[in-house]
Structure 1
Amino acid sequence: MIRAALVLAVALALGSPALAAPSAVKDTSFVDQTGARLLQQRVVIAAPPAAVWRALTDQAAYRQWVAPNSFIDLRVGGSIEVALSAAGKPGDPSNIKQEILGYVPQRLMVFRNLSVPPVPGGAVYPKLAIVLELNPAGEGTEVVLSQVGYGAGADFDALYGFFKQHNPEFLLNLKAFAERS
């Protein structure tokens, strides 16, 4: 169950063990003008935006660092889907599925969770929007992972705490993969 929860933190969140120090991830979370919490964490990756984008959107690459049974349909209205079972297929009800709401190649992806994941507070996860930004940073890429729309209440608090802890793992796994690819 913990592995499944970590796979989710991108789609999101597992992969091979992180190879970089957690201090590489900076937390820049804040409360927006509506009073909603925005969980935001960032990391600089020593790889160009094209390599990071490939790691996030190419099905074969994603399978190498997130989960072997991942399925990507890169288009508005498409999805990123992660099977929690070794025999998983696209569309299985136990899969974690994110709908792609929009993207700008090598710069931005916005998505929303469509399933209730097995994590604390998972029932409210579909109420959030997840934004991945790729910003040029010297010869590398700064990746900013933002989860927008955290409200008040025990479920939102539990989900916020879960992702505050596990999003850095996702970012560090992305960093490790992109830098060695």
Structure 2
Amino acid sequence: MLLLSACTTPASLPVAQPVARAVPNRPPVVNEAVIAAPRAVVWQAWTTAEGLRSWLAPHADIDLRLGGLMRSNYNPAGALGDAGTIENRILAYEPQRMLAIQVARAPERFPFPNAIRSMWTVIHLDDADGGHTRVRAVSMGFTDDDESARMRAFFERGNAYTLQQLQQRFAVK
């Protein structure tokens, strides 16, 4: 029964349509960091509007459900819904363990408008020593074309920076 329900998609849930097929042996972009906070607290930082605004972007909200959106805008003078807003669709989640997202709408000037359509990211949270949390972000769906290769380099740097920001949010002062 579980397998059958996992294979069906509710009609109300939009399905992302990739523009290119990911290369199966193309390695993902993997970034990891240990955060000085318990897993439940780090989960709240990823999955609540208040949590996201505390470290990710000055403007952020999230509708934590399958098909829901995580929206963010990094411009302090911007607003959610303007041309600078990033909308990530929630593909799956396991509370306090995993969040899978895919860009549903990139900001207006995003330099990789086609390649982003085939990429998704899975964020894993695991317990680490001392009450800390290991965060592992895995971005997949890259292809061999030039735009995807440039986007891959962009996310290698960007995901590392994002995890550094999360570390700083919980850094012991």
Classify the TM-score, shorter chain: 0.7 to 0.9
CA distance in 1, matches of 2:159, 2:74: 18
- Contact kept, 8 Å, 1:37 with 1:149, in 2: the verdict is no
User: Does the alignment pair 1:126 with 2:121?
Assistant: no
Alpha-carbon distance in 2 for matches of 1:180, 1:114: 35
- Shift >2 Å, 4+ stretches: 83-87, 91-94, 116-123, 178-181
Distance 1:121 1:146, change over 3 A: same
The answer to whether the aligner puts 1:67 opposite 2:87 as a matched pair is no
- Matched residue type, 2:149: D
Q: Choose from 94, 104, 109 the match for 1:114.
A: 104
Question: Highest CA radius of gyration, 1 or 2?
Answer: 2
The answer to whether the 8 Å contact 1:135/1:141 transfers is: yes
Quick check: 1:35 aligned with 2:49?
no
Question: Which consecutive unaligned segments of at least 5 residues does structure 1 have?
Answer: 1-31
- Tell me the CA shift for residue 165 of structure 1: 1.5
- TM-align CA RMSD: 2.2
1:135 aligns with 2:115: no
d(CA) in 1 for partners of 2:73 and 2:165? Answer: 18
The worse-fitting range, judged by mean Cα deviation, of 93-102 and 104-113 is 93-102
1:158 alignment partner, one of 133, 139, 150: 150
Alignment of 1:8-87 (within 5 A): 34-83=24-73, 86-87=77-78
- Structure 2 residue 168 is matched with structure 1 residue 173: no
Contact 1:129 1:147 in 2 (8 A): yes
Q: What TM-score, normalized to structure 1? A: 0.74
Change (3 A) 1:63 1:180: farther
1:94 shift after superposition = 4.0
TM-score using structure 2 length: 0.77
Relative to structure 1, the CA distance from residue 43 to residue 101 in structure 2 (aligned partners, 3 Å threshold; closer, same or farther) is same
Identity %, equivalent residues: 29
Show CA shifts across 1:9-39 (max 9, x none): xxxxxxxxxxxxxxxxxxxxxxx99222311
Provide closer, same or farther for how the CA distance between residues 129 and 64 of structure 1 changes in structure 2, counting only shifts above 3 A.
same
SS of 2:67 mapped into structure 1: coil
